[in-house]
Chains A and B, each alone.
Chain A
């Protein structure tokens, strides 16, 4: 198996080649060829991932060490890739979902010119490459390369329509917010290097004893800062909703299914460190839950179909972090997987709607799309049910596992998390009902234009809908089916299982029933409120939520503006007046002084003689009287 796995470099290699070919020859390649290469270079790693998955399932992980990346002094970093249960699972999710979205994009982006079409696919392939590097890296540095690489691709793709200034600003914002997180990540790396002398996962996680407990707390916290940037948690979440400026498949792939879960992957990967840092875990749980609730409340009042989904993504990511925070790492990963399916589905379905509406994203101008777009409607419904957590859809299993883990940890966390789950169901079905039920509220022209999307888009939707339905069956709780939790078992080489039962079976059963019943009630309530559309001006809390808690404005006022003003102050006063003032002042002083001294040279012979005589007298005086 070892020798066979030596070729795992092919997995990132294919999309890299795809990026280069499509990127360099985007003017020469026809659109069809671009699409074939673009999709093919993701399909191949997907097939490889399946193969790797099967190999890994049969036993063990493997590290393939290729070449010395950095070797300086005591610092040795090799370019090494790793396959084990966790990375194999993520590889499957990443390449699988990516492939489906690539296929979808071939149709969705059809109207772009040849050149930009090629640009789009090259960026997408580059993204897949970076993401694969992120999940396959065998040390923190390689992971960091992928980590920043996906940030770059996200930046490029958000700003894909580069003529639009607002989109470019959103792209900058995404990159910069990610960078803030990356700073934390980077410093954590330095800390790890200075203590452990190595960055490879194998060394660091097996020698946790070299870290003192405060070291571990700081390192894990700093890594978590990195995760808040990438995975859009408080306080760095505001870039993600703005990132919806990118084309919809990008939002589905990068800003819902894969990239934003990188933080979860990283923490799950480092579970050996995190499980030793209870303080950090508590912070993660609290931040995750707070993000989940905050984003869910904002999502209640958004009217842009993609914005709702974006906030829903932030909120679901919050749940994943909650799971990580309470120590249920495999549950967090499980939710990453199910979320990848149903959120990609929801975004792609939203893309289908936007496509049909001719670019319109405001749900107040939709309505009654059910009739015209059967497949889109049904698949969107699947997504909504899955995210709301109704059995037997995938979301139910993962979300319930998180709620259970929270319950085991702390009852208050559980209660708040359950409340958040109800909010989720409410805003998702609000979205569904407003967009698909009732009567059409757009323009005549749009109504005329309404149509079901072509097969190139609906087939990916159907596949994802099936996955969103069935994806949860790999993690059925023990009480429902003996040995049903295959995922945790699969991940057990990387994430150790603690088989202590904290909650009795009856309680666990009861929790499931409670959440399911409550969610159903909320859905009914949503149906009652939104089956018909009423236009209301938001007031009070509603307005507050619609404006996203004014967080953007707050950041603007508290951070961006002062920094800018401080920089302007430095530029105007310190640089120009103070430093340059001193420098030029010295010059001016010399000038002034010499102009004054020059006056001695009056040209009057008498003056010179007088000066001469006086100076001679002075010399005499000094010579005879002042010398000791």
Chain B
């Protein structure tokens, strides 16, 4: 029942919220709904964590061979937890924001949550596609209706990019469906295809899927929608986008790509990893150049996601586990960064790094939180990101499916130096030094942001000091995925 609740709670409240006019009641209802989801997620991880509760199956489009089949597996638990933590955190942190047509805004937000949850728990390809698009549509309206001046243009760019990817993926799904012996969209049938489909077919089906995922993550050179959109969209939407939505691409690669077309994943592994590694360095270098805080965070996010992508295609258990918890870590960290950026913009009226300075004197609490979250972004030990990045880099290094593992590792690891450069430079220029006219009247953060940022910092440290609490969720799953995508027996057979 738990996966159903994940989808139904936000969907029902989301639809209901549309009809509310009073902004305060809208906010309260949205917050209540997201907290309810969080409670369900926490219960699902602890008390109710048994096989009956975490899966659900019902008839849907029986004539097509598609069922409503939902299951919260290890990776699903991590990502559903991330989603369910993110939404209340976003709502509380932006509690004071005013919206035109608040009902629509929060309704769309909750619908996007329902879609995201659906993506993470769907075990049926058609259902997966359905939820995949269900996320896109609310986000399209959210970012085109509320945000900066050039938001329409940025949103169009984003929409065309992702929609193109999605359509290609749909073609891929339908093709694979037609190839299944039992004409079924279920994930097991798709996994079995691995043994049936010849390498040549897999090679082009791979790109149909990967196009959608690469755009969503995004991977260099499909990334240019991201900085524009992050810059223009309103902050809550940006938080959803970068905190949770970009994980869809990473997630989908692990669940729907690696074990489904593993020969192609093996064949294209070097190409994709090269792109990802280039993207890591490229985005890190660009982040150094940015003057706009939002764009800086956007590029740093591209770099971090690039590392996840490179790790996925190195196909090691340790690496995959690293990716899974790093998805959570990155979501949390980037959420914290957005809150910091939002507060800076609110209190100083600008996001230009060159105009800011000396904020630490005016807003010491903000400075401390920014520092801790910034250090988590540069993967300092005892913060969560270190664990993830360490495991991921270790995964790439120990990969047995590529000859270039050492080169990839070294190049990808250079990003930890570059990350230190851009994060520390940003902190120095924004918070340190003496205050100027822009920052002299700055206010420190309010209780609501303090609350959310404290939770984030606690999570950062908790997962940095005792990561095993989350790592053991992902162990079995990553092992089974690696086993499914082991190409050696497949290549022998073909």
- Chains A and B touch each other in the complex, with CB atoms below 8 Å apart: yes
Residues of A in contact with B (beta carbons under 8 Å apart)? 67-75, 141, 144-145, 147-149, 152, 155, 159, 162-165, 168-169, 171-172, 175-176, 179-180, 182-183, 186-187, 189-191, 193-194, 563-564, 566-568, 570-571, 574-575, 579-580, 583, 587
Name the B residues within 8 Å of A176 (CB-CB).
Answer: 417, 420-421, 424
| A77 nearest CB neighbor, chain B only | B390
A571 touches B318 (CB 8 A): no
Question: Within the assembled complex, what's the spacing in Å between the Cα atoms of A149 and B375?
Answer: 11
- Sample of 9 A–B contacts (CB below 8 Å): A72-B321, A73-B317, A73-B475, A179-B378, A183-B413, A186-B390, A187-B409, A570-B282, A571-B289
Most chain A C-beta atoms within 10 Å of own C-beta, residue among B288, B390, B478: B390
Contact indicator B413/A72 (Cβ below 8 Å): no
Bound-state CA distance A567–B413 (Å) is: 18
A357 to B293, CA, bound (A): 42
- Contact code string B400-438 (vs A, CB < 8 Å = 1, else 0): 000000000110011011001100110010011110000
B residues bordering A, Cβ < 8 Å?
Answer: 157, 160, 221, 224, 282, 285-286, 288-290, 316-318, 321-322, 358, 360-361, 375, 378, 380-382, 387, 390-391, 393-394, 397-398, 409-410, 413-414, 416-417, 420-421, 424-425, 428, 431-434, 466-468, 471-472, 475, 478-479
- In the complex, the chain A residue whose C-beta lies closest to that of B419 is A179
Q: Is the CB of A70 within 8 A of B387?
A: yes
Contact B394 A193 (CB under 8 A): yes
Smallest CB–CB gap between B288 and chain A, Å?
Answer: 5
**Dominant secondary structure at the A interface:** helix
Q: Are A162 and B397 in contact, CB atoms less than 8 angstroms apart? A: no
Residue of B290, B381, B479 touching A145 (CB-CB under 8 A): B381
CA distance A75 to B391 in the complex (A): 9
Is there an interface contact between B409 and A563, defined as CB atoms closer than 8 Å?
no
A227: min CB distance to chain B, Å: 17
Residues of B within 8 A of A175 (CB): 420, 424
Check B358 against A194 for contact (C-beta < 8 Å): no
Chain B residues with Cβ below 8 Å from A152 are 375, 380
| With A69-B467, A69-B468, A70-B468 as contacts: A183 and B416 at CB distance below 8 Å | yes
What is the CA–CA distance of A152 and B464 in the complex, to the nearest angstrom? 15
Measured between beta carbons, the chain B residues less than 8 angstroms from A165 are 428, 432-433
Which residue of A73, A147, A152, A163 has the most chain B CB atoms within 10 A of its CB atom?
A: A73
Q: Shortest CB–CB separation between residue B159 and chain A, in angstroms? A: 12
Q: Are A148 and B381 in contact (CB under 8 A)?
A: yes
User: Which of B360, B361, B413, B472 is most buried by chain A, counting CB atoms within 10 A of its CB?
Assistant: B413
Q: Which residues of A contact B425 (CB under 8 A)?
A: 172
Given A148-B380, A149-B381, A193-B397, 15 more contacts at CB 8 Å?
A: A67-B466, A70-B390, A72-B478, A74-B317, A145-B381, A152-B375, A159-B432, A163-B358, A165-B432, A172-B424, A182-B416, A183-B414, A186-B413, A190-B394, A564-B288
**Residues on the B chain within 8 Å of A145, using CB:** 381-382
B residues within 8 A CB of A172? 421, 424-425, 428
Separation of A353 and B378 alpha carbons in the complex (Å): 38
Smallest beta-carbon distance B45→chain A, Å: 19
Complex CA distance for A564 and B380, rounded to whole angstroms: 24
The answer for the CA separation of A226 and B131 in the assembled complex, in Å, is 47
Of A179, A189, A191, A566, the contact of B416 (CB 8 Å cutoff): A179
Give CA–CA (A579, B221) in the complex, Å.
7
**Among B391, B431, B434, contact of A72 (Cβ-Cβ < 8 Å):** B391
- Point out the residues of chain A lying under 8 angstroms from B471, CB to CB: 70-72
Q: Which residues of A contact B282 (CB under 8 A)?
A: 570, 574
Q: CA A169 – CA B421 in complex, angstroms?
A: 11
Decide yes or no: A570 and B431 within 8 Å by CB, A75-B391, A176-B417 being known contacts.
no
Please give, as numbers and ranges, the residues of chain B lying within 8 Å of A190 by CB-CB distance. Answer: 393-394, 397-398, 409
B224 contacts across to A, CB distance below 8 A:
575, 579-580, 583
Partner of A67, one of B410, B433, B468: B468
A196 to B203: give the CA distance in the assembly, Å.
Answer: 36
Residue on B with the closest CB to A571?
B289
Cβ contacts under 8 Å, B390 to chain A: 70, 141, 186
The 8 Å CB contact of B432, one of A162, A179, A186, A189, is A162
Chain A residues lying within 8 Å of B286, measured Cβ to Cβ, are 567, 570-571, 575
Distance (Å) between the CB of B96 and the closest chain A CB?
25
Q: Which residues of A contact B317 (CB under 8 A)?
A: 72-74
In the complex, the answer to whether B428 meets A186 with C-beta atoms within 8 Å is: no
Bound-state CA distance A145–B461 (Å) is 13
Q: How far is the CA of A168 from the CA of B430 in the complex (A)?
A: 12
How distant is A104 from chain B, measured CB to nearest CB, in Å? Answer: 26
Bound complex: CA A159 to CA B420 (Å): 15
| Min distance, Cβ A65 to any Cβ of chain B, angstroms | 14
- Closest Cβ of chain B: how far from A433's Cβ, in Å? 38
Instruction: Assess the A163–B397 pair: CB atoms within 8 A.
Output: no
Chain B residue with Cβ nearest A578: B221
- CB of B275, distance to nearest CB on chain A (Å): 13
Nearest chain A CB to B157 CB, angstrom units: 7
Pick from A159, A567, A583: contact of B288, CB under 8 Å: A567
A residues less than 8 Å from B431 (CB atoms) = 162
Instruction: Establish whether residues B413 and A187, one from each chain, have CB atoms under 8 Å apart when the complex forms.
Output: yes
Complex Cα–Cα for A566 and B479 (A) = 41
* Option from A144, A180, A193, A570 in Cβ contact (under 8 Å) with B417: A180
Instruction: Name the contact of A144 in the complex, choosing from B381, B468, B475 (C-beta under 8 A).
Output: B381
Shortest distance between the CB of A73 and any CB in chain B (Å): 4
Nearest neighbor of B466 in chain A, beta-carbon distance: A67
Sort A-B residue pairs by CB-CB distance and give the 5 closest, nearest first: A73-B317, A190-B397, A145-B381, A567-B285, A571-B289
A570 touches B434 (CB 8 A): no
Complexed CA–CA distance, A571 and B298 (Å) = 14
B321 neighbours in A (Cβ, 8 Å): 72-73
* Chain A residue nearest to B405 in the complex (CB): A194
Closest beta carbon of chain B to A429's beta carbon, Å: 38
Q: Which of B360, B416, B467 contacts A70 (CB 8 A)?
A: B467
Could you say which of B321, B428, B466 has the most chain A C-beta atoms within 10 Å of its C-beta? B428
- B397:A191 contact, CB within 8 angstroms: yes
A73 engages B479 (CB within 8 Å)? yes
Docked pose: A168 CA to B371 CA in angstroms: 14
Could you say which residues of chain B place their CB within 8 Å of the CB of A141?
Answer: 390
